[in-house]
Amino acid sequence: MSTFLTARSVRTTPEGILWEPSERWVRGRTGDITVVDSRHPVLVWEPGLPVPTYAFPREEIRADLLRPAENPPLGTHSGSQSFYDLEVGGGLRENAAWTFPAADLADHIAFEWFRRSGKGLDHWYEEEEEIFIHPRDPHKRVDALPSSRHVTVAIDGTVVADTRRPVLLFETGLPVRYYIPREDVRLDLLVPTDHTSCCPYKGTAAYWSWPGEADVPPNLLWSYPAPLAAVAAIEGLVAFYNEAVDITVDGRLLERPVTPFSGALAARPST
């Protein structure tokens, strides 16, 4: 038992990088070319970044597709020792891979994820399930729980949602999100947009905006029409950014939280 626990423990390098062995089979592809096929990946948390990435033993990647980077970026990925361009499918993807400046990870290479950074590998899989944006953090929970709480949502003083059958989504490090049946939301007061986002824990979301003249950001509310199985209870329900609307739960007005989304919401122009 002690050996198992040691093998799964998070380690810290002198550079402040956290890493942990993973037992998942991970593959990364560009088109129909498999660049990564690893049975021994490690999860890596860089200082100041809230989400992990994977790094892989050199023998489990297509090192023949990598070239020393012609224009390596400075001051990124914990002061990476080496960057690589990826030559695949007749094209070159600059700075698609890198090494970490840590002896523990000297024989490992990490890759960018295209859907997160716009470069790197297009598709990633854990076992046979495609994953998006970044690896799921094994130390993070996401729980969707049906509830009978009374939840109302107001935008600029107008009540746009009122329900006693929400699903509460608890996600480590974020405020509770209140998912509300569409029948209990005044979607006639809102406008669908073409904005989408992907979440490694929940899936792909569609958005709506408030069309009024209030100083509120666009894409204030969202829904997952086909969420991942772990949060199937939120399918088709609608949630609002607590950071930008007034949510009242069982008669108590919630404070608007400050989260990693707050800055982006404040920077968006009003519709």
For every residue of 147-183, DSSP letters joined together read ----EEEEETTEEEEEES--EEEEETTS--EEEB-GG
- What percent of the chain shows pLDDT beyond 90? 77
- The pLDDT of residue 195 is 95
Number of Cα atoms under 13 Å in the Cβ half of residue 22: 23
Asked if residue 69 belongs to a domain, the reply is yes
In a shared domain, residues 126 and 152: no
Give yes or no: residues 108 and 171 share one domain: no
pLDDT of 119 over the 90 cut: no
Q: Check residue 254 and give its pLDDT.
A: 98
Q: In what order do the strands lie in the sheet with 191-199?
A: 191-199, 203-209, 221-223, 238-240
Computed over every residue of the chain, the mean pLDDT equals: 91
Check residue 5 and give its pLDDT. 38
Average pLDDT over residues 118-130: 92
Where residue 260 sits, what CATH number does that domain have? 2.170.150.40
Q: Position 219: which residue type?
A: N
pLDDT(89) > 90: no
Asked if 140 contacts 119 with a C-beta cutoff of 8 angstroms, the reply is no
With a cut of 50, say whether residue 179 has pLDDT above it: yes
Which pTM value belongs to this model?
0.84
Predicted confidence (pLDDT) at residue 265 exceeds the cutoff of 50: yes
* pLDDT at residue number 48: 84
More confident residue, 48 or 268: 48
Rg of the Cα atoms in the chain: 21
Predicted pLDDT of residue 78: 80
Burial 12-43 (b: 16+ CB within 10 A, else e): ebeeebebbebebebbbbbeeeebbebeebbb
Is residue 229 over pLDDT 60?
Answer: yes
Residue span of the structural domain in which 20 resides: 2-131
Together in a domain, 151 and 111 = no
**14 and 99 co-located in one domain:** yes
- Domains of the chain: total: 2
Angle at 241 between CA 218 and CA 255, to 5 degrees: 125
* 21 and 49 housed in the same domain: yes
Per-residue pLDDT tens digits for 100-114: 999 999 999 999 998
Question: What is the mean predicted confidence (pLDDT) over 132-154?
Answer: 95
90 pLDDT tier (thresholds 50, 70, 90): confident
